[in-house]
Amino acid sequence: MLLFVGLGNPTPNSENNRHNIGFKLIDALNKKFGLSKQKPKFKGLLTTGNVNNKKVYAIKPLTFMNNSGICIRELIEYFKINAEDVIVFHDDLDIEFGKIKAKFGGSSAGHNGIESIDKFIGKDYSRVRIGIGRPKTNTEVTDHVLKDFDEDEMLQLKKITDNIIDSIPILINKKLDLFSSTVNNK
C-alpha cells in the first residue's frame, strides 16, 4: 500500500501557483490511472485505486501548505500506512525549473509543507522535488512560489507532469535515482 501526497493550497486563485505543483501531479495521477472520484476525507481530497497492481491512496491536503502534516498523519494512522510508503510531490526553489530530484528522507530545506510533514510523521518518506527555480528578479521568495506559472512554463509543465506520470511504475518500486534520471532525460 502506498500514499501519494501532492502539496498545495486549496484556494481557487492558487490553482496555477508554483506552490501547487503537487496538486497538479495528483490530478494527473488520478486521471492516468483512473483512481476513484476525489472525496473530502482526512482534511484533504482523497482518491484510491490500483497502480501496477498495487493499492494506492492519493491525497491533496486541504489544510494549506504549512499544515500538510496534519492531514497526512490522520490518513496514515487510519489506514496503517508506514511513513516509508508515503511519496510526497512538491515544488522546490533550489532546483532549476522543470528538473526533478527524488530522495528518501533528509532536510526540509525550509519548505514549510515538508517541515509540517516531518513534524507529524517523521522524515522517513520519499519526496519528489519538482524544480520551480528561484526568482530571476528581486522578487521575494514567498511572492515567487505564490505566483502563477507563466504561459511558457504552463506548456513545459504539461510535459514535465506527463514524464513524471509515465515513470510512476519506477517510483512505485522506490528506485528514486532511476526515477529522477528517467524523468529528467525524456
43: left (phi over 0), alpha (psi -120 to 50) or beta: left
- The shares of helix, strand and coil residues in the chain, as percent rounded to the nearest 5, are 45, 25, 30
Indicate if 19 belongs to the active site: yes
- Contact predicate 87/5, CB 8 Å: yes
Within the chain, how many helices (H) and strands (E) appear? 7, 7
The b-or-e profile of 76-103 (16+ CB within 10 A means b, else e) is beeeebebebbbbbbbbbebebbbbbbe
Q: For residue 58, which amino acid is it?
A: A
Name the active-site residue from 19, 90, 111, 144: 19
Catalytic residues: 19
